[in-house]
Amino acid sequence: MAEDLRQINSIEIKNCATGLPVKKKDFLLIDSSRKSVQCSVLKGKLVGILIGPHWLIIPLQHALSVLSESYQELLREGKEVIFVYVAADKDNEVIESLKRYGQENQIDGRSDAECFERVLGILPKDWFAVAFEQSDVRAELINSYRSGIFSLAFVGSDGKLHTKDGLKLLEKWGVDSYPFTEERIQQLHRQALERTANQCLESLLTTETRDFLITPEGKEVKVAELEGKIVGLYFAAHWYHECETFTPVLADIYKQLKEQGAEFEIIFISSDADRVSFENYHRTMPWFAVPYSDLKTKKMLNKTFEVEALPCLIMLDTQGKTMQTETVELIYKYGIRAFPFTPERLTELESEERARHASQTLETLLATNERNYVIAPGGTQVSISSLVGKTVGLYFSAQWCIPAQKFTPRLISVYKKLKDTLKGDEGFEIIFISSDRDEAGFFSYYETMPWLALPYGDEKSRELSRYFDIRGIPSLVIVGPDGKTVTNEGRKLINLHWERAYPFVEAHLAEIQKEIDEAARRLPKTILHAGHGHILDLVSGDSGGGPYICCECDEQGSGWAYQCIQCGYEVHPACVQDSKNQAQQDQKPHSECSN
């Protein structure tokens, strides 16, 4: 609550015509139709002052779109607010930052007058703007009310500032935060605490005019019929790819639990932008939903459970109390075994997981009752027992995965070098575990690989993803000669050290790091890199360095780096050297010429 209220205070009224801290008493406003309006129209009104760069057109369009929805909702509820847009002058520091991160498309390069004219064309109806040429008025308002690149201040009818954090309040509380005073925000916090204390299915899911949910076919089902069941609140939207991935997984578990007679239900809370999308998406689900038209309940549920990312699955116990908030992760990790999602059940699963890891062998990881082999290129079978005693990499990947398109060729190069150099009892193997969407994709991708694989669609693929808690691909898990997990960070280690990372154990990696540290101490402390215009400083993990993405080769780095802290620019020391060598090579005269 302190964050919500930190900007709330009162200010001296300098202009009796408007109540705003502006010395000029008769400044003009412009409405969306380009007509001039006397500023006295603001006197005695609650005023929302939106401050933002007129030359950042894409972010401004987004802000206006969100605020327009809130404005229309305020009007429907009879809550009067006058909104005024104040253009902020161009900021070279912001412009350079956007260019540095390749976001030039955010910047409108036209003249101030042209940019401002475009903004007037997208202002919601009945909004006003301070005329751009009135730079003194804009400067005073910006100085008094600005709290970020885009900010929304609300000023009361008495000229006193209610808040500079209007955007945050609308995002968190919606129009319920009206009139945006300290007293109202405190009241909303008290109500939220009361809702939590008295939470039940009825308080969460019913209103004065609605006591039902709807099926995918549109039939009504009373909320009271869910009493005494474990209930999942599923926040999702058809347009988000993570929901597209998770919804079928959840549906499969839901159907299995219903077949087992479990007292369990799920309720879809949609974030879809239109009714048709909501209905089409809901028809792919076997559970109930809050009606699309009940925007107020959906917003309240999002606020109550502080939903920040989709998909989100909140699990309620048989009394309607919150039991789990991270259920998506639990289902990915444990599947149907996570039911009934109680703290006691999770404690049991974690204990089982520890015991399983302690007794882990290559055979228990890869074999099933029906299969004791993996496949090699060409389809020949290789017994899992023949791999015991080797270091094995489990490569979770898929043809459609864009990052894998860059990492797989690197891993192939490392694999071939290790196969050529390792001798005697040493041995290294990789097993591809596919996340491809169809068998054709699997075979097309596997044809490019020189190592082994689990058969496509094998039950172990999903089980291993859960067992190792794979959150993203490509991912490389290293299993040691004893069958125990060495590291889940194989991809990172390959990117950092290539074949030198083998056998991936801590002692060996510590030796590599020691060599890197010794070599780095002989490097120049500062350097002018051809790929960046500023002097770069050499930093280590103990002096400002850490995990980073190299701006030269676009791969992972850790520890030592050449860094421009002003620009957030970091490169591998080797990449700086490579660039320097290349520049010198380019300056040498050619010793041979072609005829």
- pLDDT tens sequence across 187-244: 988 888 887 788 999 999 999 899 999 999 999 999 999 999 999 999 999 998 889 9
Residue 548 reports pLDDT greater than 70? yes
Per-domain boundaries in the chain: 2-188, 201-349, 362-504, 523-587
572-to-196, 554, 560, 563 alpha-carbon distances in Å: 50, 10, 7, 9
Architecture of the domain defined by 201-349 = 3-Layer(aba) Sandwich (3.40)
Give dist(CA 273, CA 278) in Å, integer: 8
Q: Using omega within 30 degrees of 0 as the cis cutoff, is the peptide bond preceding 179 cis?
A: yes
Beta-strand (E) ranges in 398-542?
A: 428-434, 452-453, 475-479, 485-487, 526-528, 535-539
Beta-strand (E) ranges in 100-239?
A: 128-130, 151-155, 161-163, 212-214, 220-222, 230-236
Give the class (CATH, top level) of 2-188.
Answer: alpha beta
What is the model's pLDDT at position 14?
A: 41
* Residue 549: CB atoms within 10 Å: 12
Range of weakest confidence among 218-232, 442-456, 533-547: 533-547
Range of weakest confidence among 274-283, 452-461, 475-484, 543-552: 543-552
To the nearest whole number, what is the mean pLDDT of the chain?
A: 86
**C-alpha dihedral (474, 480, 485, 488), degrees to nearest 10:** -30
Residue with tokens 């009007």: 75
369-to-314, 362, 434, 457, 484 alpha-carbon distances in Å: 36, 14, 20, 16, 21
Mean pLDDT of 113-128: 89
* 308, containing H or E segment: none
Architecture of the domain defined by 362-504 = 3-Layer(aba) Sandwich (3.40)
Say if CB 489 and CB 481 are below 8 A apart.
Answer: no
Better-scored residue on pLDDT, 100 or 208: 208
Residue 503 reports pLDDT greater than 90? yes
pLDDT digits (tens, 9 = 90+) for 299-319: 889 988 989 889 999 999 999
> Coil, helix or strand for 118?
helix
* Residue 497: CB atoms within 10 Å: 17
When pLDDT is cut at 50, 70 and 90, the band that residue 101 belongs to is low
Residue 383 reports pLDDT greater than 90? yes
Q: 352 is written with which tokens?
A: 């089982």
Give dist(CA 221, CA 214) in Å, integer: 6
DSSP 455: P
Mean pLDDT of 381-405: 94
Say if CB 150 and CB 142 are below 8 A apart.
Answer: no
What is the model's pLDDT at position 4?
A: 41
Range of weakest confidence among 99-113, 119-133, 251-265, 443-457: 99-113
Range of weakest confidence among 98-112, 139-153, 454-468, 513-527: 98-112
What is the model's pLDDT at position 21?
A: 66
Mean pLDDT of 23-42: 80
Say if CB 211 and CB 222 are below 8 A apart.
Answer: yes
Better-scored residue on pLDDT, 376 or 295: 376
Mean pLDDT of 582-595: 39
Residue 424 reports pLDDT greater than 50? yes
Say if CB 292 and CB 279 are below 8 A apart.
Answer: yes
What is the model's pLDDT at position 35?
A: 87
Fold match between domain 2-188 and domain 201-349: yes
Residue with tokens 């007292």: 263
